[in-house]
């Protein structure tokens, strides 16, 4: 046996992971043909659009696709053809948290992973390297291998690798260009090590050798969950301290700055906010909770569950602070929510704090204006309907209005809530905003974004997360 020289790659799934990752591989490896496939025709059409109106907003992504598309990067719905021709197949499908059945609310739903695996086994007539790219629970590769081996054709061999992504939305392209590490997990058999070397050679086209880590298959799967859980834990920790700061008169910015100087801790992921969101943190922690419970480790499960509970508490605490500050009622009052994406520089809204805040404001019978520079109106309505399944879209639209600019959203509002840290919110003409608002005019900064003192001089009453309501 020897490592296979990879000349054709297929990626099943054209979402937030598969699309950017394989687009960068195509850019950096012009000698490799990369085909990204998806059953969603509209998504594939968007990737192929003449004006490059891509289905994902990510800084730098359009430039990558412009350079590689049509050269050695292709997007298609012809899944079977791409599987058959590929030497190496990335499985990069969605793995949402289960909504029903065993493990509902905690375990990952692996239906799409299984469907993709079965499709590979059915279609492939030659040996393939199959790479887990989706975030999956530990030992998923074992299930994939069982399915592939049970359904494979004669003389058709499958080697399974784990290659988790560690991308941060908003900086995904720079993360891919210069990753902290590329992690590849394999079975420690000769065949597994050879398959690992084949993928390593792909990344070696631009990633330094010392940043490509090769480990066992199960260690790789667990490392992804562990990394996201540890990062989320830091956010929940600083958010817990922000509540103490508000009660004692301390300033969370000063506290986080001070503790970040400790070389054992470091400054990253110590910025307080209204709460973390995105497709990974909460899902992966809940996955870790479920894994711990399955292994009969209830204390471990309870430990990690608290990270998610702290995050939910932070959202509830922030929306309650809005109500308390607006004289204990927001019924009939107009609240401008600036930002709907879970973080800046992405159009992703999964687990966004804004969804929870708006739902809370709706329950208090407030009127809500929403503006986000990248999230479409269709996506906002979809998320709000999912958050309030007992309310019709018509009823939601009686309380919520989507605006085309921040200035429009703030007009005639009692309060402005900053839910996403878009840079443009720091550059708003706040004097014009103040002139168009009802008085007293309130600003609630859930992202430590604006210059509170500057806004107070204009006339706003400013409440900033992690700081006391009265400036000491």
Residues placed in the known binding site? 13-18, 38, 43, 93-97, 134-135, 165-169, 224-228, 264, 271-277, 280-283, 342-343, 350, 447
DSSP for 286-348? HHHHHHHHHTT-HHHHHHHHHHHHHHHHHHHHHHHHHHHHTTT--TT-EEEEE--SSSTT---
User: Residues 10, 22, 29, 280: which is the catalytic one?
Assistant: 280
Which residues sit in the known binding site for NAD(+)? 13-18, 38, 43, 93-97, 134-135, 169, 280-283, 350
DSSP for 440-457? S-EEEESSS-S-HHHHHH
Query: The tokens of 457 are what?
Result: 């001089």
Contact 71, 185 (CB under 8 A): no
Q: Phi/psi of residue 172, each to 5°?
A: -60, -40
Strand 8-12, strand 367-371: pairing: unpaired
CA dist., res. 57 & res. 26, Å (int) = 19
Which residues sit in the known binding site for substrate? 165-169, 224-228, 264, 271-277, 342-343, 447
Indicate if 22 belongs to the active site: no
Residue with tokens 């085909």: 35
User: Strand pairing partners for 89?
Assistant: 10, 130
Strand 182-186, strand 158-162: pairing: antiparallel
Query: The tokens of 310 are what?
Result: 């702290």
Measure CA 446 to chain center: 19
Query: The tokens of 146 are what?
Result: 């069982």
Query: Dihedral of CA 288/294/297/298: which sign?
Result: positive
Q: List residues with catalytic annotation.
A: 280
């Amino acid at each position: 046996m020897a490592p296979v020289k990879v000349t054709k790659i297929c990626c099943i799934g054209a979402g937030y992971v598969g699309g950017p990752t394989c687009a960068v591989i195509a850019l950096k490896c012009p000698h490799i043909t990369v085909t990204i496939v998806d059953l969603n025709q509209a998504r594939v059409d968007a990737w192929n659009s003449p004006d490059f109106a891509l289905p994902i907003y990510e800084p730098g992504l359009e430039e990558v696709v412009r350079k590689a598309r049509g050269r050695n990067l292709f997007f298609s719905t012809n899944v079977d053809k791409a599987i058959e021709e590929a030497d190496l197949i990335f499985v990069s499908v969605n793995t949402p948290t289960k909504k029903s059945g065993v493990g509902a609310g905690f375990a990952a739903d692996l239906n799409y992973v299984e469907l993709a695996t079965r499709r590979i086994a059915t279609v492939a007539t030659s040996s393939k390297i199959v790479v887990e790219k989706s975030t999956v629970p530990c030992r998923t590769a074992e299930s994939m291998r069982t399915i592939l081996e049970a359904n494979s054709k004669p003389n058709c061999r499958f080697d399974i690798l784990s290659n988790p992504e560690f991308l941060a939305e908003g900086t995904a392209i720079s993360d891919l260009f210069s990753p902290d590490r590329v992690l590849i997990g394999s079975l420690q058999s000769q065949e597994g090590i050879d398959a690992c070397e084949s993928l390593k050679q792909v990344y070696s086209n631009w990633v330094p050798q010392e940043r490509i880590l090769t480990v066992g298959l199960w260690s790789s799967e667990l490392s992804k969950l562990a990394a996201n859980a540890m990062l989320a834990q830091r956010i929940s920790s600083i958010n817990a301290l922000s509540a103490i700061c508000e009660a004692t008169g301390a300033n969370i910015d000063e506290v986080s700055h001070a503790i970040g100087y400790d070389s054992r801790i470091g400054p990253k992921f110590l910025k307080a906010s209204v709460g973390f969101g995105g497709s990974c943190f909460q899902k992966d922690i809940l996955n870790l909770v479920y894994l711990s419970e399955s292994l009969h480790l209830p204390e471990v499960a309870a430990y990690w569950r608290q990270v998610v509970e702290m995050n939910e508490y932070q959202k509830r605490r922030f929306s309650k602070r809005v109500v308390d500050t607006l004289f204990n009622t927001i019924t009939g009052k107009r609240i401008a929510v600036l930002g709907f994406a879970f973080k800046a520089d992405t159009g992703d809204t999964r687990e966004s704090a804004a969804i929870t805040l708006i739902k809370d404001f709706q329950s208090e019978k407030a009127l809500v204006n929403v503006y986000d520079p990248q999230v479409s109106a269709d996506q906002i309505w979809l998320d709000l309907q999912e958050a309030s399944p007992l309310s019709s879209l018509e009823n939601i639209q009686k309380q919520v209005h989507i605006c085309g600019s921040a200035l429009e959203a703030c007009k005639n509002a009692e309060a402005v809530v900053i839910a996403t840290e878009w840079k443009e919110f720091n550059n708003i003409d706040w004097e014009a905003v103040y002139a168009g608002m009802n008085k007293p005019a309130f600003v609630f900064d859930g992202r430590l974004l604006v210059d509170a003192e500057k806004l107070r001089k204009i006339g706003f009453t400013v409440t900033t997360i992690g700081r006391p309501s009265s400036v000491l």
